[in-house]
Structure 1
Amino acid sequence: MSLPWLVSTVLHVTQDGKYFVAGDLYRVEGELLENETEKAKLAKVEAIAESDMIVYKAPNERAHITVFTDVDCVYCRMLHKEVAQLNESGVTVRYLAYPRSGVGSESYQKMVSVWCSDDPKKWLTDAKLGKSIPANKCVNPVADQYNLGNEVGVRGTPSIILGDGTLLPGYLPVAQLVERLGL
């Protein structure tokens, strides 16, 4: 039996394997309803060291977002042009690599070059501006971040994860994103 939609779906299976439920697990306590699946996804993302990310730190951080990005993605480029505004609004932007074409693709190679460069923030900006960047190789987290993106439900870029674990699939203008963060 082939069920391709199950690739990143969370399954809850009976011990004998005869029954399963596909989807998120929620916990209900009084008035509280918590999505335990989203919390588990967020925990995996939050476990990544910032040293493995490319981080644009807000001087007066009030919130942070973690963005799965691709250097060749038009909407990722639009979001990147707004990083300064997000920082001014108190939002730190933390990038993880998600080359949409997959590991080994041209986008993947560019992202490895960015992560392995002497100044990843500069080279990420240049790559998102469509500029040529020098090839670099090193031990890097790009493939692991791509795999994590698949695991937590990333289907396109940018995919933005808020501090509460909510995954926003796609670009949002600064005003909407800041509002969504409650700032």
Structure 2
Amino acid sequence: MSVARVLSGAILGLAASIALAADPDQAIRSTLNSLEPGLPIEAIAESPFTGLYQVHLKGGRLLYASADGKFLLQGNLYQYRDGEAINLTRQAESKGIAKEINAIPTSEMVVFSPKEPAKAHITVFTDTDCGYCQKLHSEVPELNRRGIEVRYVAFPRQGIGSRGYNTLVSVWCAKDRKEAMNLAKSRENVPAATCTNPVAKQYELGQMVGVSGTPSIILGNGEMIPGYQPAPQLAEIALQAK
């Protein structure tokens, strides 16, 4: 699903044949379905801004629409509160992303856990060929030492069937996933292996929640950090977001 494509269609204007529905939910769905059939709409509800409705898409993304469905908006909605601007869009999207990520069984991840009970966790969309992914992986022991559990999910940047995809499949199908991940992140050969695996599914999930590069780090509250962060800084952020 391309949000940009939806909005570009809206900018050109709605077709005259779209009838005004009896209620906002119907009107907004009619508009969006005419522009992007099959758009994964999870819910439509009033936003905190009077007269503006928020459209929750599967994966956590948000669009805004007028009650009659004739105006669409993509962007951040802020509320001025107690002397600061609160990003309401980011808060809502983070909740949706957290829902999707927390639904992934840890059995489908490659998990590096601290020796003591974890204080917080991060979920990392990773590609084994990514230089900054390798740098982040070298700091996993430090993250563990600081009480952060690191959960890897797959995101082959070059797509399904690429060399990176095949390497990730071999990692997920290895008898010891953590050792295979260590080899891959050290640019060493990972023995080829195949099995029923979640690599393609996780890649599609990453696209749905807005991952565009690696590493993309999802905090416990669903907030996304697009890119590498040094272990001390990342651990502090993760502890604050648990």
TM-score range, shorter chain: 0.7 to 0.9
Which structure 2 segments of 5+ residues have no match?
Answer: 8-58
Using the TM superposition, give the Cα deviation of residue 21 of structure 1 relative to its aligned residue in structure 2, in angstroms: 1.9
Q: What do residues 5-42 of structure 1 show as CA deviations (whole Å, max 9, x unaligned)?
A: 96x963234575422121457899999x6521210111
Out of 140, 150, 154, the position equivalent to 1:93 is 150
**TM-align CA RMSD:** 2.7
1: CA distance, partners of 2:132 / 2:217: 12
Match of 1:180 in 2: 237
Letter paired with 2:73: V
For the 8 Å contact 1:25–1:36, the answer to whether it is kept is no
Identity %: 46
**Unaligned 5+ residue runs, structure 1?**
none
Aligned to 1:39: 95
Q: Is the CA contact (8 Å cut-off) linking 2:119 and 2:239 kept in structure 1?
A: no
Matched position secondary structure for 2:202: helix
The answer on 1:161 being equivalent to 2:208 is no
- Rg (Cα) greater in structure: 2
The residue aligned with 2:34 is none
- In structure 1, the partner of 2:62 is 10
Tell me how many residue pairs correspond in the alignment: 181
Whole-angstrom distance in 2 between the partners of 1:4 and 1:102: 21
Higher relative contact order (CA 8 A, sep 6+): 1
1:142: how far off?
0.4
Partner of 1:144: 201
Aligned to 2:137: 80
Superposition pairs of residues 60-75 of structure 1, within 5 angstroms: 60-75=117-132
| 8 Å Cα contact 1:25/1:37 also seen in 2 | no
Question: TM-score, normalising length from structure 2?
Answer: 0.67
TM-score for both structures, normalised by structure 1: 0.87
2:177 to 94, 115, 120: 120
